Chain A
Amino acid sequence: MITTLFYILSAFTLATAFLTIFSKNPIHSAIYLVLCFFSIAGHYLMFNAQFLAIVHIIVYSGAIMILMLFTIMLMNLNKEDEKNKTLWSRLAAVISFCLVALVLLAAFIKAQQTGYTYEVSGEDYQSIKVLGQVLLNDYMVPFEFASVLLLVSMIGAVLLSKKEHINN
């Protein structure tokens, strides 16, 4: 039952990802991408990582995708006016996609561990409480450092869009 669910969900994830890419209209792409994110959240739920799933939806679908959609709207890009790449480059993209997929999968299959057994220790490791403890104790420094990251991106975004007043 779970296996079937996994396959369906996986197929959905991949399909929406593909559709994101193949949609001519950026708006459609964005919507497919949201769907894709939702399916990934589904995966997280299957892992029983509820908190992460919710955060994922909030951050990606709620923040990042909205930002993108906003930009698309702002630029009035919701037209299917994108010229296709040349046939050669599209072909090259397809071929390289096949190649990368093949190589990666082959490598992973080769690296597959044989005869491993997965045992559940039953210990709690992904409740909000534990996550909070890990995040704010063990990973306190990166957590704080992430603020620097966000600060940089904030300053950066401002810097790039700030109106210039020459020599003020």
Chain B
Amino acid sequence: METNLALLLLLAPLAGFLINIFAGKKLSGNLSGTLGSLAVAVSFAVTLFFFLQVNNTGEPVMVNLYTWMKMVNFDINFGFQLDQLSLLWLMFVTGIGTLIHIYSISYMHDDENIHKFFAYLNLFVLFMMILVMGSNLLIMFIGWEGVGLCSYLLIGFWYKKQEYNDAAKKAFIMNRIGDLGFLIGIFIIGYLFHSVEYNDIRNIIASGEADIDMAWLGIAALCLFIGACGKSAQIPLYTWLPDAMAGPTPVSALIHAATMVTAGIFMITRLNFVFDLTPDIQHIIAIVGAITSLMAATIGLAQNDIKKVLAYSTVSQLGLMFMALGFGAYEVAVFHVITHAFFKACLFLGSGSVIHAMHGEQDMRNMGGLKKVMGITFATFMISTLAISGLPPFSGFFSKDEILMTAFHHDKVLWIIGSLASIMTAFYMFRLVFLTFYKDFRGTEEQKHHLHESPGLITFPLIVLAILALVGGAISLPGSSWLNHYLAPVIANPAQHHALGTTEYMLMGIAVVGALIGIGLAYTKYISKAQVPPQDSEITGFTKVVYNKFYVDEIYMAVIVKPIYAIGSFFKNVTEAAISGFVFGLGRAATLIGAQGRYIQNGSVGFYLLIFVLGMCSVIAYIFLK
């Protein structure tokens, strides 16, 4: 029963994918969209069932299908583990997934390849579920690579434009760098523990019997973290995420905000018992997370593309989550993942709604005053913005505050960095809101003429998500956290929970004040002074550096990609030619000797006989006269 249900969980999106890919052309756009949404909705229902069951019993559901691979040291099962952590993730993957599917029916309905869009989305949900459901690292890796593939397909969904394809390719390749790290990590884990099953590893560590080489374990943790960096867009592998905004907006919402990018956090949380053993690596994670958070926030300050701002904000928020992971506060990170999923999905979908209304325009400099036309969109957007800025009582406040609080207790420097990032977040998010929804419309007349509120299929998900963004904090209120309790079975060493004392309230205050400062700055600049960011050519100085994302892409291009091409050219033009020339040269040398030899064969009998006689002489001399 459980096995069948668990399979249904997976088969529903698979069926959606297969139907849409093979028969989608014959279906109408709405029908294929409905089918796709239904598939995910079924999964959501099943997830809900399991969630309630596990929440009641506290016993995870294990499904083991068959032995997938056999290594000398260990076997790899094709098995699934539905425990608290994976179900939590499944809940919002399928839940938000369903909403975004519904949203897409309307958003994509003009596209000729809509059936493919839903096929890919379903496939993504499938792989995401495999990722979180897997009972071992290899199954997670299937999902891990699978979502990468879907991300590739969806970023490059409008494949006629080669820039989009470039972005898709970049995302896939950068992810693959991380994947290699992940793979190496798996190798080491497998070698050390003779298993890649989470439960086995956990038991071995818990029993404390096994003699585990800590140095190797550290390397493994580092490798796994590299994998997480790739998927969750951390320094140095984050540059693909902003580019990934080339994909349709629902994709950005689902994959590049709510679900896929959190896979790295999922993985580290999954393996919390491993990371707990390697404090050095945890420290690295915290630092990388903090720096990513600050850097992305900085870049976000100067972006003018509405989706780019959101993308950098995503990177920044992910950085905060990693910071929490680095402090061993897995529950906190997970909490922020969930609230972030709500408000960021809402933000992306809202921006999608705006872009929809603007007929594809994404530059905020050409927007403004949309509040009047798009009421619902504005309201939901505003709620989410307040949430991300960390104002109480919105969900973001609770999760972000917990992160900062943890940071404060562990490392003051990182706390400052995190707080700075939060202030910046508040600033650029409100900059976004003000530029988009306030003041007067700055676009063309034609655009203005077409401005309209989005249809119900688009606004409905927005409303649901906005509500969640509003109340989502309830799952882990300071002091009495349902989430911490829920996750306790999967977290080996729960984070220390600080009683709510003066320090804590003071910290909350600081955070709120910081957010307000950010909002205030934005207000002065864009409402009071009614500034509009300058055109590209007019950007100068430090702003230009920030606007151009610190030239990281260019640096990568110059330091990594170009040299690889240069080496390739060297190989192609020099090495290959040399080796080939050598081989041909041997043949040519032989032929040359043959050609020269022809002069010896000069046709003169006298000469032939001379050689004959000399040969005879030397033979006799050699044998008889030596």
Contacts and interface: CB of A to CB of B under 8 A. Distances in A.
Interface of A: 85, 89, 92-93, 96, 99-100, 103-104, 106-107, 110-111
B606 A89 contact: yes
22 contacts: A85-B606, A89-B606, A89-B610, A92-B610, A93-B606, A96-B614, A96-B617, A99-B613, A99-B614, A99-B617, A100-B613, A100-B616, A100-B617, A103-B617, A103-B620, A103-B625, A104-B620, A106-B624, A107-B620, A107-B621, A107-B624, A107-B625
A21 to B, nearest CB: 13
A106 B626 CA distance: 11
Interface in B588-626: 606-607, 610, 613-614, 616-617, 620-621, 624-625
Contacts of A110: 624-625
A89 B611 CA distance: 12
A161 to B, nearest CB: 22
Nearest to A89: B606
A94 to B, nearest CB: 11
Interface in B441-490: none
Contacts of A107: 620-621, 624-625
Given A89-B606, A93-B606, A111 B624 contact: yes
Nearest to B619: A103
A96 B615 CA distance: 10
Contacts of B607: 89
Nearest to A101: B617
A106 B606 contact: no
Nearest to B623: A107
Contact of B621 (A85, A89, A103): A103
Contacts, number: 31
Contacts of B617: 96, 99-100, 103
Given A103-B620, A110-B624, 4 more contacts: A96-B617, A99-B617, A104-B620, A107-B624
A93 B613 CA distance: 10
Contacts of A93: 606, 610
Contacts of A103: 617, 620-621, 625
Contacts of B606: 85, 89, 93
A107 B618 CA distance: 12
A85 to B, nearest CB: 7
A23 to B, nearest CB: 18
A85 B610 CA distance: 13
A110 B614 CA distance: 20
A96 B625 contact: no
Nearest to B614: A96
Nearest to B621: A103
A92 B620 CA distance: 19
A156 to B, nearest CB: 20
A26 B400 CA distance: 122
Interface in B500-553: none
Contacts of B625: 103, 106-107, 110
- Give 5 nearest A-B pairs by CB, closest first: A107-B624, A103-B617, A103-B621, A96-B613, A99-B617
Contacts of B610: 89, 92-93, 96
Contacts of A104: 620
B329 to A, nearest CB: 99
A85 B606 CA distance: 10
B602 to A, nearest CB: 11
Contacts of B616: 100
Nearest to B604: A89
A162 to B, nearest CB: 26
A164 B620 CA distance: 47
A35 B613 CA distance: 27
A103 B607 CA distance: 20
A85 B620 CA distance: 28
A67 B503 CA distance: 136
